[in-house]
Amino acid sequence: MKNNLISIITPSYKSEKFITETIESVLTQYYHNWEMIIVDDFSSDNSNIIIEKYCKQDHRIRLIKLEKNSGPAVARNKAIKEAKGRYIAFLDADDLWYPQKLEKQIQFMSDNNYELTYTNYETMNEDGKNLNNIIKSPSKLNYKQLLKANKIGCLSAIYDTHKIGKVYMPLIKKRQDFGLWLKILKKVDFAYNVNEVLGTYRIMSNSVSSNKIDLLKYNYSLFRNYEKFSRIKSLYYLVWNIYMKVMKK
């Protein structure tokens, strides 16, 4: 297990406020055989200065700079294309991992021969204050179950390229991660949960995740324009998404 390289995919855009914490959470991983590919989406702040400092300190960290602002899907896909690892893991530039995250999840995948896995995670606000909210996902999910609600946090997901090849995010404005999990679950029967809290998701005040109405709009767009569902079928799953959000409360 220790010999398998993990490629960590991190899009970065004006991330100078948080990127140090994010990189440090990778450097403290018990599992050491990883590469971190950070793709800067044409930032105008000082984030690249911080990232380049880490690149000089640790050869496992790489920075790729896009020549124009292209959005997180393009940034993530560029990193996936450049990735050399068997496993593809996702960590945004403002989120954090627990030190045992990679070790436990890769062991879980190796022991059970799983292609796609995820974990539970906690949340914090923009200032790093713990919100005492644990996001727990089902023990396993298939394609039809995921359509009803995206229960896989991007910071928690890892997939195995040796089993399913490199799979890229759809080039859509929002909900690219949702689209990727759906794409993978057309290839495999289930995604599986490690059933441990192994990361911290930062809720930004201006994020899509903080605006539930916008989130539902993007979900409908994903169903209609990317999954190519009919209007009725798209509305059917949108109603399921709304119901799951209400039930969550």
- Please give the C-alpha separations between residue 96 and each of 26, 65, 87, 140, 205, in angstroms, as whole numbers: 8, 22, 18, 23, 17
Q: Residue 220: which of 235, 242, 240 has the closest Cα?
A: 235
Q: Are residues 229 and 170 in the same domain?
A: no
Residue 94 lies in a domain: yes
Instruction: From 188, 205, 222, give the residue that closes a domain.
Output: 205
Say how many C-beta atoms besides its own lie within 10 A of residue 66's C-beta: 18
Print the domain residue range for 227. 211-249
> Strands 96-97 and 191-202: what pairing?
antiparallel
Q: Are residues 136 and 157 in the same domain?
A: yes
Q: Are residues 183 and 219 in the same domain?
A: no
Q: Is 196 helix (H, G, I), strand (E, B) or coil?
A: strand
Q: Are residues 247 and 137 in the same domain?
A: no
pLDDT score for 131: 93
Residue 235 lies in a domain: yes
Residue 95 lies in a domain: yes
Residue 18 lies in a domain: yes
pLDDT score for 141: 98
Q: Which amino acid is at 30?
A: Y
Per-residue pLDDT of the chain (249 residues; tens, 9 = 90+): 568 999 999 999 999 999 999 999 999 999 999 999 999 999 999 999 999 999 999 999 999 999 999 999 999 999 999 999 999 999 999 999 999 999 999 999 999 999 999 999 999 999 999 999 999 999 999 999 999 999 999 999 999 999 999 999 999 888 999 999 999 999 999 999 999 999 999 998 765 455 667 778 899 999 999 999 999 999 999 999 998 887 765
Place of tokens 């995206």: 150
Q: Are residues 77 and 135 in the same domain?
A: yes
pLDDT score for 3: 85
CATH classification at residue 187:
3.90.550.10
pLDDT score for 66: 97
pLDDT score for 25: 98
Q: Report whether 19 contacts 96 (CB < 8 A).
A: no
pLDDT score for 248: 66
Instruction: Summarize the chain as % helix, strand, coil (round to 5).
Output: 40, 25, 35
Residue 143 lies in a domain: yes
| Domain count across the chain | 2
Instruction: From 172, 188, 205, give the residue that closes a domain.
Output: 205
Cα–Cα–Cα angle for 118, 120, 123, rounded to 5 degrees: 125
Q: Are residues 199 and 217 in the same domain?
A: no
What pLDDT, in 10s, does the model give residues 117-162? 999 999 999 999 999 999 999 999 999 999 999 999 999 999 999 9
Q: What's the distance, CA 114 to chain centroid?
A: 18
DSSP codes, 90-101 = E--TT-EE-TTH
Q: Are residues 234 and 195 in the same domain?
A: no
Q: Are residues 94 and 196 in the same domain?
A: yes
pLDDT score for 206: 65
Q: Are residues 104 and 225 in the same domain?
A: no
Q: Residue 206: which of 86, 94, 67, 53 has the closest Cα?
A: 94
Residue 1 lies in a domain: no
pLDDT score for 207: 57
Residue 68 lies in a domain: yes
Query: Using the 8-state DSSP alphabet, how is residue 130 labeled?
Result: E
DSSP codes, 155-207 = GG-EEEHHHH--------SS-HHHHHHHHHTTTSS-EEEEEEEEEEEE--TTS
